Amino acid sequence: PKQLQISRRRLALSRDPRFGDVGKRIAVLEDLCENLILVGEYAQAIPHLQEAESLASHIGAIGQQRRILDLQAQCLFRLDRWGEVLEVHEKCRELEERHTPEEMGMTCMIIAFSAAVLALRGDDDQARVLREEAYAIMVRGSGGSPNKWGRTQHY
C-alpha cells in the first residue's frame, strides 16, 4: 500500500546523519510499524519496534516506550510468540515501578494481551486477574464508564 511506501521513505530520510531529532525518528519508526501491522507484517515490524524502544529508553520518552511495548506485544501475540508477550509485559511492569501513571499512560493493552496468553495456556485464574486489571484501567481511562469506550477500546 501507498502509506507503507511513504512510511518506509520517511524512515530512510530519518536515517540520514543530518537528521538529529530522535523523538521524530521514534515517531517515524512507530508510524512504519503501525502500517506494517495493518498489512499483517508483524515479523517485519518487530526489529523496528525494538529500535524505537531503545531510542525511547535512551531519551527517557516513557509514554512512547510504553506505546511501543504495546505494539511489540500485539505483533508477538499475532505471531504466537506467547512467551515473548509475557517478557514484554514484564518490561512494562518494570517501567511502572520507576515511573508515574501519568508518565506511563494507559497500560491496559499490554495487560490484555498477557491475559489472553495466560488464558490460552490454561492459567485461567491469573488470566482473570489480568483481565480485571485491564478492564479497571479502561474504565478509569474512559471517564468511569464502559459506555464511553470508543470502538478501538474493545480488545
Task: Provide the angle, in degrees to the nearest 10, between the axes of the packed helices 2-14 and 22-38.
Answer: 160
Contact of 59 with 22, CB cutoff 8 Å: yes
Of residues 122, 90, 109, 99, the one with CA closest to residue 154: 109
Q: What is the pLDDT of residue 154?
A: 60
Q: What is the pLDDT of residue 80?
A: 97
Of residues 98, 28, 27, the one with CA closest to residue 62: 98
Report the distance separating Cα 42 and Cα 131, nearest Å.
24
The parts of the chain modelled with pLDDT lower than 70 are 144, 150-155
Q: What is the pLDDT of residue 155?
A: 56
pTM score, two decimals? 0.90
Q: What is the pLDDT of residue 141?
A: 78
Q: What is the pLDDT of residue 153?
A: 63
